[in-house]
Each structure stands twice: as C-alpha cells, then as structure tokens.
Amino acid sequence: MMKKAILNVFAMTGITLVVLSLVALCYNASFLCLETVFQALGLNLLIYLGIMFINTIEFRFYLLETGLKLVYSIALVLIAGKIFGWYQNLSAPVLGGMALVILLLCGYLDMLSLRNEIKEINDLIGEK
C-alpha cells in the first residue's frame, strides 16, 4: 500500500512537471526553477493524502465524492499558488486548468491500473 502511494505521488509529480513545462512553453519560458519541482512534489503529496482521507468516507453519491476531490485539489493548488508566488507567472484560471488536466490524467492512469488488476484477478480465477 505504501509503495503504491509513493509511486502514485511521484507519477503525479512527473505528470505535473510535464504539464507545467508545456504551459511554460506557451509562455515562451526557457527554464523551470528547481524549487518548483519540490513545491510540486510537496503539493502532490498533500493532494494525495487528502484524497486518501476522502476515500475513507463513505458517500452515497459518486459524483459528490468526485466533486469534493476536485474542489479540494484545485483549492489546494490555488492556495499553493498564492503561498509560492506562482501568480507572478500564471493566472489563477490557467493554474486551475492545469490542475484539472493533471487530475484527469492521473485519474485515467488509475483507471487503467485498476482495469489491469481486475484482468489479472479474473485470469487467476479462470485458472482455478
């Protein structure tokens, strides 16, 4: 469980840095600050921990749970933008849009991983 959590945080950070680099290219930026890498890692750790906590709560409606995860994550990104001074280079809507794209990509990868696990379980059941 811990190994998967660490892997997910680092994967999310990697996706974050790729999306950030693509947005930076649109703004004709030529580099990313090293501190931004660690800020993104810390932020992604907080997002992941919060989502894990939200997962422990049983919701009657899936959309409510998903909406809460999105609002939590995007709010945390916008707050981090204020704390780390990201608004000097990006607007809040761009930062929020980036967060949404990153969350969608991570959700898609989680779905693929879950699908593969289900396939493996079905194959093991079929062998018996």
The predicted-structure confidence for 87-123, as pLDDT tens digits, reads as follows 988 899 999 999 999 999 998 988 888 888 898 888 8
Query: pTM for this one?
Result: 0.84
Burial (CB count within 10 angstroms: exposed 0-12, middle 13-18, buried 19+), residue 38 = exposed
Mean of the pLDDT values across residues 14-19? 94
